[in-house]
Structure 1
Amino acid sequence: MTLDFEPVGDLTGPGEAKSNLDVLSRLFPDAVVDGTVDIETLQDLLGESAAPTTAEAFGLRWPGMSEARRLSTLPATGTLLPKPEESVDWDNTRNIVIEGDNLEVLRLLRRGYTNKVDVIYIDPPYNTGNDFIYDDKRVISQVEHETATGQRDEDGVLQTGTGSDRAQDRRAGASKHSAWLSMMYPRLLVAHHLLKETGVIIVAIDDTEHARLKLLMDRVFGAENFAANVVWQGSGRGDARFTSAGIDYMLIYAKSRTALIQRDVRWTEEKVGVTEVAAAARKLWEESSHDPAAASAALQNWWKSAPQDIAKGLGGSRGYKEIDENGRVFARDNLSSPNPRENLMYDLPHPVTGVPVRRHSSGWRYSRETMAQKIAEGRILFGEDETVSPRYKRFLDEHEDQPIRPVFERDRAAAGLYLRRLLDSEVFEYPKDHTVLAKWISAVSESNPDAVILDFFAGSGSTGHAVMDLNAADGGNRRYILVQLDETVGKDGYNTIADITRERLRRAGQQIASKQSPDAAPIDAGFRSYRLAPSNVKVWDGTSDQLSLLEAVDNLVAGRTADDLLVEMMLRMGVELTTPLETREIAGSPLYNLAGTLFAYFGTDITIDRANEVAKALAAWRDEEPGDADTTVVVRDTGFVDSAAKLNFAAALKQAGFTTLRSI
Structure 2
Amino acid sequence: MKKIDDMTKEELVALVKEVKKRKKYGLVWEDKPEDVVEQCKKELPVLEESKDKAIQKDEGLPTNLIIEGDNYHSLSVLNYTHAGKIDVIYIDPPYNTGAKDWKYNNHYVDSNDNYRHSKWINMMHHRLTLARNLLTEDGILICAIDDNEFANLKLLLEEILPSYTHEVVVVNHHPQGSGGLNISATHEYAIVSVPKGKNLFLGDYIEEVTEEWSLLKAGAGNDYYRIGRPRMFFAILVDKKTGQIKGVGEELKKDEKYPTEDTPEGYKRVYPLDGNGGERRWRYGRETMIDLISKQEIKASLPNLSMKVIKKRSKVYKPVYSNWFDSRYNAGPHGTMFLKKLLPDTDFPFPKSIYTMIDFISYATKKRRQPIILDFFAGSGTTGHAVAILNKKDGLKRQFILCTNNENNIAENVTYKRIKAITKSVSGLEDLTGIPINLRYFKTSFVSKSKVSDDTRKELVKRSTEMICIRENTFEKVLDKTGFKIYKDAKHTTGILFNLDDLDELKKKLKEQNLPASIYVFSLTNDTFNEDFEDLELKHELCPIPESILEVYRKLFK
- Structures share a fold, TM > 0.5? yes
Q: CA deviation at 1:205?
A: 1.4
Indicate yes or no: 2:4 matched with 1:124.
no
Q: CA deviation at 1:247?
A: 2.8
Q: Pick from 98, 103, 127: which aligns with 1:187?
A: 127
Indicate yes or no: 2:168 matched with 1:248.
no
Amino acid at match of 1:375: I
Compared CA separation, residues 68 and 380, structure 1 to 2 (3 A): farther
Q: Pick from 60, 65, 77: which aligns with 2:44?
A: 77
Answer 1 or 2: which has greater helix percent. Answer: 1
Compared CA separation, residues 475 and 346, structure 1 to 2 (3 A): farther
Partner of 2:29: 62
Q: Pick from 271, 290, 296: which aligns with 1:359?
A: 271
- In the TM superposition, 1:371-390 aligns within 5 A as 371-381=289-299, 388=305, 390=307
Identical amino acids, percent of aligned pairs: 24
Amino acid at match of 2:521: V
Paired positions, count: 474
Q: Is the CA contact 2:204–2:363 (under 8 Å) kept in the aligned structure 1? A: no
Q: Matched residues in 1 for 2:386 and 2:504: separation?
A: 48
- In the TM superposition, 1:400-549 aligns within 5 A as 401-406=318-323, 408=325, 410-414=329-333, 415-446=335-366, 448-488=368-408, 495-511=409-425, 525-535=437-447, 540=450
Q: CA deviation at 1:210?
A: 1.9
Amino acid at match of 1:98: I
Indicate yes or no: 2:232 matched with 1:344.
yes
Q: Matched residues in 1 for 2:349 and 2:22: separation?
A: 46
Q: Is the CA contact 2:483–2:497 (under 8 Å) kept in the aligned structure 1? A: no
Indicate yes or no: 2:493 matched with 1:600.
no
Compared CA separation, residues 337 and 93, structure 1 to 2 (3 A): same
Normalising to structure 1: TM-score of the pair?
Answer: 0.60
Q: Matched residues in 2 for 1:449 and 1:102: separation?
A: 27
Q: Matched residues in 2 for 1:418 and 1:533: separation?
A: 34
Q: Matched residues in 1 for 2:119 and 2:336: separation?
A: 29
What SS does the aligned partner of 2:63 have? coil
Compared CA separation, residues 369 and 456, structure 1 to 2 (3 A): farther
Q: Deviations over 1:292-337 (max 9, x none)?
A: xxxxxxxxxxxxxxxxxxxxxxxxxxxxxxxxxxxx9978664322
Q: Deviations over 1:370-426 (max 9, x none)?
A: 4344334333346899x9555444669888723422453643212211111111234
Amino acid at match of 2:505: V
Partner of 1:87: 54
Q: Is the CA contact 1:81–1:532 (under 8 Å) kept in the aligned structure 2? A: yes
Compared CA separation, residues 270 and 78, structure 1 to 2 (3 A): closer
Q: Matched residues in 2 for 1:450 and 1:367: separation?
A: 47
Q: Matched residues in 2 for 1:241 and 1:232: separation?
A: 21
Indicate yes or no: 2:42 matched with 1:103.
no
Q: Matched residues in 2 for 1:62 and 1:134: separation?
A: 18
What SS does the aligned partner of 2:114 have? helix
Q: Matched residues in 2 for 1:240 and 1:508: separation?
A: 37
Amino acid at match of 1:225: Y
Q: Matched residues in 2 for 1:384 and 1:406: separation?
A: 33
Normalising to structure 2: TM-score of the pair?
Answer: 0.70
Q: Is the CA contact 1:484–1:498 (under 8 Å) kept in the aligned structure 2? A: no
What SS does the aligned partner of 1:599 have? strand
When the two chains are superposed, the root-mean-square deviation of aligned CA atoms in Å is 4.7
Q: CA deviation at 1:94?
A: 2.6
Compared CA separation, residues 541 and 61, structure 1 to 2 (3 A): same
Q: Matched residues in 2 for 1:354 and 1:111: separation?
A: 68
Q: CA deviation at 1:192?
A: 1.2
Compared CA separation, residues 83 and 365, structure 1 to 2 (3 A): farther
Q: Pick from 159, 167, 172: which aligns with 1:228?
A: 167
- In the TM superposition, 1:6-25 aligns within 5 A as none
Answer 1 or 2: which has greater strand percent. Answer: 2
Partner of 1:219: 159
Q: Is the CA contact 1:587–1:614 (under 8 Å) kept in the aligned structure 2? A: no
Partner of 2:203: 269
Q: Is the CA contact 1:134–1:183 (under 8 Å) kept in the aligned structure 2? A: no
Compared CA separation, residues 661 and 440, structure 1 to 2 (3 A): closer
Compared CA separation, residues 442 and 230, structure 1 to 2 (3 A): same
Q: Pick from 490, 493, 505: which aligns with 1:614?
A: 505
* Gap runs ≥5 in structure 1: 1-49, 143-168, 279-327, 489-494, 543-551, 638-648
Q: Matched residues in 2 for 1:530 and 1:189: separation?
A: 23
Q: Matched residues in 1 for 2:245 and 2:184: separation?
A: 60
Q: Is the CA contact 2:32–2:119 (under 8 Å) kept in the aligned structure 1? A: no
Q: Matched residues in 2 for 1:220 and 1:202: separation?
A: 14
Q: Matched residues in 2 for 1:217 and 1:588: separation?
A: 46
Q: Is the CA contact 1:79–1:534 (under 8 Å) kept in the aligned structure 2? A: yes
Q: Deviations over 1:202-260 (max 9, x none)?
A: 111122222222222222122x6342122223234485320112331212223x314x2
Q: CA deviation at 1:81?
A: 1.5
Amino acid at match of 2:116: K
Compared CA separation, residues 383 and 238, structure 1 to 2 (3 A): closer
Q: Matched residues in 1 for 2:47 and 2:160: separation?
A: 27
